[in-house]
Chains A and B, each alone.
Chain A
Amino acid sequence: MSAFDAGALTGDLTVTLDADVLVGAYPDRDGPPGTPESVLGVLGAHRVRAGAVASLRAALFDMVSGNDEVLALSRASDAVVPIGAVDLRDPLGSAAELERLAAAGVRGVRLFPDEQGAEADFPSVRHVARRAAALGLTVLTGGDVRRFWRPFTGLGGSVVFLDTHFYHLGDFLVAAADEPGFHTSTRLLNSPDAVETAAARIGAERLLFGSRTPHAETVVPLLRLATSGLEPAEIEAVAGGNARRLLT
């Protein structure tokens, strides 16, 4: 047995819903292919029972066909919670797609500002934020939380910041103190005390396990959560309870 036995540390930790999963491939990267079968295989191998899955096809090329792909996956597998994706390069089309997704029963929509070259102060971001809040959709957004907190303020909606880095934890926490709908993924809260600090400040109910499978190592946020100082009930909430409340 290698000294690097992650299973011995993660034990029986089971994630009931991972908030950050993608299908499809980045054409500017060598891999991974991101086929639904391979993605679900990686999740299963890490005791992640379900993923909030968004489509890179929708994010990078065509919203409607990409989102339809995810809706079809969710109908075929209990392991897929569908997350719509919209394109910040097309705010009018995005607004229409939000309507369609909400009518289809989707509860979460994901923004890809880095991939789409959108900055936090672009009118399209605020427009999509308003429309999503009005429809009761939870927004999962990438981007630097120090900038992307602003277009979501004062709307009363639920937002999950997927790229909150522990370097920027203080900024997130002071923003979240004024915005009860602000949540964060734990993916990059990987300093020795960021998860614990966030839970103490704003409550574990505002933390969601996110792995970015298959593009990042699924085991890393698993290890961080398994070895955290959170109470068992808090770990259970972070490992999927909170995501289910917001996205299903």
Chain B
Amino acid sequence: MTKVLEINEVSFAYERRLILDRIDLMVEAGDFFAVIGPNGGGKTTLLRLILGSIEPVRGTVRLFGQSPQKTSRLAGYVPQSVDLEKDFPVSVLEVVLMGRMLTGKIFPRYSAADHAAAEAALKAVGLHELGGAKFGELSGGQKQRTLIARALVSDPQLLILDEPTANLDHRVKLEIYSLLKELNQKVTIIVVSHDLGLIASYVNKVAYLNRRLVPHPPGKISPASIADLYQRAAAPPGVVE
């Protein structure tokens, strides 16, 4: 198995507050990896470390065997869509094309190849007929699909998603996870999620993160085993030991 991501003994602090404490994590090609845990537990910080936008205080992060600053363009990133402006005058296609705008390239136009890639990405998420629609007028699930297409458009080998199903109803959550499962045949996926009960049938690895990372014990992943991990890891340290 090829190692996609390797995190060794990583700690991160922000203004003297320890956010991540000696994290070890390994993701292999083809994995569908879920990170669960409470808000403020350091999940977003972990994603930023993986994408190389911040550097660890201690320890090393290796993305595709190198420092993330060099390789982060091999990863596609899907942020939470809740923060995005509702009235913003931008079409679905324009949002997807934003994913083609990588650093170092300042040619002021999207090429035909960019447009072709955007169309293909929209097709992959089932939105190929909505390219001209206003992003703000889409449903929550369609917005999330658009953001997934934006991540796919750069042809990534790893897809990183920050709570892709927050604020969506149950049926739409299932649709999004089914889509991710389908995409997982080609790309490795790391997802931050609160949907403990739902992810079990889709992912193959789970870890609990709240400053420290507690991996799911080897064996079958089920809603019960995830709930168990959450409770065990969330309990005060004295109880776990």
A binds B: no
- Chain B residues near A (Cβ < 8 Å): none
- Chain A residues near B (Cβ < 8 Å): none
